[in-house]
A and B are shown apart, each in its own frame.
Chain A
Amino acid sequence: MTYTFALVGNPNSGKTTMFNEITGAAQHVGNWPGVTVEKKEGKARKIKEDVKIIDLPGIYSLSPYSLEEIIARDYIVDEKPDVVINIVDASNIERNLYLTLQLKELGVPLVLVLNMIDVADARKDRIDINELEKYLGIPVIPASASKNSGVREVVEKALVVAETAKTGFVKKDHKVLDDIIEGYLDEVEKLISPIGNAKGWNSRWISLKLLEGDEKVKEKYHIPTNIIKDLKSFQEKLEKHYENDLETVFADSRYKYISRVIEKTVKKQLGNSGLTWSDKVDRIVTNRILAIPLFLSIMYAIFQITFGAIGSFTIDWVDGFMSDAVAGTLLRWLEAGGVAEWLRALVIDGIVAGLGSMLVFVPQIMLLFFFLALLEDTGYMARAAFIMDRFLRKLGLSGKSFIPMLLGFGCGVPAVMASRTLESEKDRRLTIILTPFMSCGAKLPVYALFAAAFFSNNQGAIIFSIYVLGIVIAILSGILLKNSILKGEVAPFVMELPPYRIPTLKGLGIHMAERGMAFIKKAGTIIFAAAVMIWFLQSFDFSVQMVEDPADSILGAMGKAIAPIFAPLGFGDWKSAVALLTGLIAKEVVVATLGILYGLGEVGEEVTQLGVALQTAFTPLKAYAFMAFTVLYMPCIAAFGAIKREMNSWKWTFIAVGYQTGIAWIVAFLIYQIGRLFGLS
């Protein structure tokens, strides 16, 4: 018999950490709400085979007001997992129990996990587990997923609950809402149950949702109009009795029940009030004068470290390894095998040159993401969204848009997908257009290459300035679009801030390993294919004859055709034009293409030689304009696909990429032309 257990809980309750501990997976754990928009699946390999674990998005309630809530609720109601494992943050139990009550209302087999019990213990909060079980009528397991304690017990308890549920023995629940509401609820249930029993519905829950005024449930179950009419009169009576609207009445009633439970079961040493050390940090970090300078200094320091001495050291090391060990060995093999000249050229001038030129930057990229992960895991990034809200609001955006944008520093695809969590369609479109301006990890090798070749004394500052350029352009575009084609009210910003946490080495390790592995995987598939294709296109002409000079090749002809477009930007040679074009496959391919076209790959020639070769074609000014164009122009094909899916309209997709490319051209043009006015070349 296979069981399915679903993990449900508030954002930041440690759900994904629990998922990782149960399944042995290494899923990325975010320390801000709204990162997970879809469910993830795994098997409880470590504990028991044949148990499927579903990780649902983090939610605060089961009301149908946000996308995550709808996904989670539909899953529980329609797919009927055998047990719902409700992960509760023990250090924040009162708020977390709100969702627990709603899960109880749903009447599904439930196990409550008091996660992060170690944090609550450290704060000397005393939670009476037995009493809590008695009041809630469900099993309660204390656990700490991050310390791997209690994880096995959670799964074992869930198995027991699943077995019990199968026998059909369900304990009669005691009432949670107050007597008056429960009274009306009985009335509604009387109306619903004749239909419900016939169709096998959960009548009590449907009645409750109908009384609460849930439109989604009304539509989904096609409730007859005569029942709706009776329902309306009940609702009016309720509202009149409490002199408040329905949502408030129900939320209030649930929270009152929770207060009573908490009073009996939780003894807090410190109480809810009083400043924690996390609050004291917040007083400084979100201080109105210090906040923005602090944010910028932190980011600047990260770039200085990544692209300073440590970064250069990693480049030299990988570079040496690649050119001596890898390329040298390959060449010896090829010669020993007595391969033909064309195959030797394909491997050395195509694959080694293409992949090698990009792979040297992998350690640097991992280093950058290590620092960003550090900021995220400590909880600082969520504060950054709060800090930026005031600033973004002046520009017509909410701090909420900042989260997709932050994800954009990693990769445009999940960033564009995260825009789904924004309620207003206009905000969503605007965020999708602006997100690709956040420089993604794939563009880093381009800057790293050019900065090392042309600005070796202040690489960190130059690359930081490119990131800032992307952000500034996003902000200016926000003002422009919000005041023209995407007019609308600025959405409110309400977001839970996770407490500051000391990140675990394991968590940071997962982040880094993920980045590194994803890069290497990408190098082995799409960039490999691109390098092979580029080699062919630059070696043959249209009559499939091998050419002496790549300028006469197919790629050369293509490059020459589009190069004039880039001439006013300072890089009108065909090689740069082709590199930008092939960069649409994946942005790392810009570097791979340059590596192939500048004839890298001969043994003994280290990748840093590419920088020297580039100095013949570029000046520092031209290089900067090229980097500026790279950060801004249309994203790679994968992100393009994501934009199309999220926009759900070809028209808007082309508006987005057309705008991005247009802006990139204008900005690079201005940089180059203004630079020339100042006497640069």
Chain B
Amino acid sequence: MPLTMVPLGKEAIVNVCNAKEATKKFLETLGITPGASICVISEMGGNLIVNIKGARVAINRGVAQQLMVEAC
């Protein structure tokens, strides 16, 4: 399921990223790689703030929809 479906505060595991090449690359640099655990901290109109490896990253809705995760 896409990251946007994850309820606030629930942890999930990153599965696959369908975003554009450059965006995907940047997300990977930030630690959003397959198998990483990710948690949604806050949501605003579909835009998210997530916790990834202890850092807080803002992701807009479009990208979040392309980021597939699995519930854990």
Contact = CB atoms under 8 A, between A and B. Distances in A.
Asked if A and B touch directly (CB within 8 angstroms), the answer is yes
Interface of A: 60-61, 63, 65-66, 91-95, 98, 244, 247-248, 251-252, 255, 272-273, 275, 278-279, 282-283, 286-288, 291, 385-387, 389-390, 393, 398-399, 423, 490, 492-499
Nearest to A379: B56
- Top 9 closest pairs, chain A to chain B, by CB: A251-B28, A493-B60, A94-B53, A61-B29, A390-B45, A386-B58, A497-B56, A60-B29, A492-B63
Contacts, number: 128
B27 to A, nearest CB: 6
Contact of A287 (B28, B31, B44): B44
Contacts of A66: 26
7 contacts: A95-B30, A248-B28, A273-B51, A275-B9, A386-B58, A390-B47, A496-B56
A252 B56 contact: no
A94 B36 CA distance: 12
Q: Which of B19, B52, B53, B54 has the most CB of A within 10 A?
A: B54
B62 interface: yes
A20 to B, nearest CB: 24
User: Could you tell me the dominant secondary structure of chain B's interface residues?
Assistant: mixed
Contact of A98 (B9, B31, B44): B31
Interface in B12-61: 19-20, 22-31, 33-37, 39, 41-47, 49, 51-61
Contacts of A286: 42, 44, 49
Q: Which of A93, A272, A499 has the most CB of B within 10 A?
A: A272
Given A92-B55, A252-B34, A494-B60, A386 B44 contact: yes
Q: Which of B43, B47, B57 has the most CB of A within 10 A?
A: B47
A66 B46 CA distance: 26
A94 B54 contact: yes
B66 to A, nearest CB: 9
A65 B26 contact: yes
Contact of B33 (A63, A248, A495): A248
Contact of B60 (A248, A389, A496, A497): A389
Contacts of A65: 22, 25-26
A177 to B, nearest CB: 14
A63 B26 CA distance: 9
B22 A423 contact: yes
B3 to A, nearest CB: 12
Contact of B36 (A255, A278, A279, A385): A255
B11 interface: yes
Interface of B: 9, 11, 19-20, 22-31, 33-37, 39, 41-47, 49, 51-63
Given A273-B51, A390-B46, 18 more contacts: A63-B29, A65-B26, A92-B53, A94-B53, A94-B54, A95-B30, A95-B52, A275-B9, A279-B56, A282-B49, A286-B44, A287-B44, A288-B44, A393-B60, A494-B23, A497-B49, A497-B57, A497-B58
B7 to A, nearest CB: 14
Contacts of A499: 56
B34 to A, nearest CB: 6
A599 to B, nearest CB: 54
B54 A251 contact: no
Q: Which of B24, B30, B33 has the most CB of A within 10 A?
A: B33
Given A65-B26, A283-B41, A252 B33 contact: yes
B57 A496 contact: yes
Contacts of A248: 24, 28, 33-34
Contacts of B39: 273
B30 A493 contact: no
A493 B49 contact: no
Contacts of A252: 28, 33-35
Contacts of B9: 275
A492 B23 contact: yes
B33 to A, nearest CB: 5
A490 B23 CA distance: 13
Contacts of B42: 279, 282-283, 286-287
A496 B30 CA distance: 8
B28 A247 contact: yes
A573 to B, nearest CB: 48
B12 to A, nearest CB: 11
A99 to B, nearest CB: 9
B50 to A, nearest CB: 10
A87 to B, nearest CB: 15
Q: Which of B47, B49, B53 has the most CB of A within 10 A?
A: B53
A369 to B, nearest CB: 25
Contact of A282 (B24, B36, B47, B56): B56
B25 A63 contact: yes
